[in-house]
């Protein structure tokens, strides 16, 4: 019975060792899982922060786009007024030239005959 007892004892020691190895593997897996969860939570928090930054940037860009649209309209109005003013000045110059021409004509040809 001594052989049976030794064999049984060896099997028990072997089973105990396998159980301890499996327990160690499970503990290591749990530690890795906890580390992974912690890293994942940090990543989620960082992604949330980055999303908030991107949303804030998007709002700022929308405001800038609105300001640029308003500036574009203002510049178009200014260009229209500048062109209108130049046309008005050209017309006024032509009218003055006509008046000067009429005065010279009247001065040399109409009033000189008298």
Q: Where are the alpha helices (DSSP H) in the chain?
A: 2-105
pLDDT for 114 equals 54
pLDDT tens series, the chain, 114 aa: 455 567 878 888 899 999 999 999 999 999 999 999 999 999 999 999 999 999 999 999 999 999 999 999 999 999 999 999 999 999 999 999 999 999 998 888 877 765
Query: Which pLDDT score is estimated for 70?
Result: 97
The domain limits of the chain are 1-87
pLDDT for 2: 57
Instruction: Fill in the DSSP letter of residue 49.
Output: H
Question: What is the model's pTM?
Answer: 0.54
């Amino acid at each position: 019975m001594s052989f049976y007892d030794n064999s049984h004892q060896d099997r028990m020691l072997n089973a105990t060792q396998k159980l301890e190895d499996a327990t160690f593997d499970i503990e290591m897996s749990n530690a890795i899982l906890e580390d992974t969860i912690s890293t994942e939570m940090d990543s989620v928090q960082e992604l949330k922060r980055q999303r908030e930054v991107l949303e804030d940037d998007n709002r700022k860009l929308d405001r800038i786009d609105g300001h640029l649209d308003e500036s574009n309209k203002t510049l178009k109005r200014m260009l229209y007024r500048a062109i209108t003013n130049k046309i008005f000045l050209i017309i006024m110059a032509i009218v003055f030239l006509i008046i000067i021409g009429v005065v010279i004509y009247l001065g040399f040809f109409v009033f000189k005959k008298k």
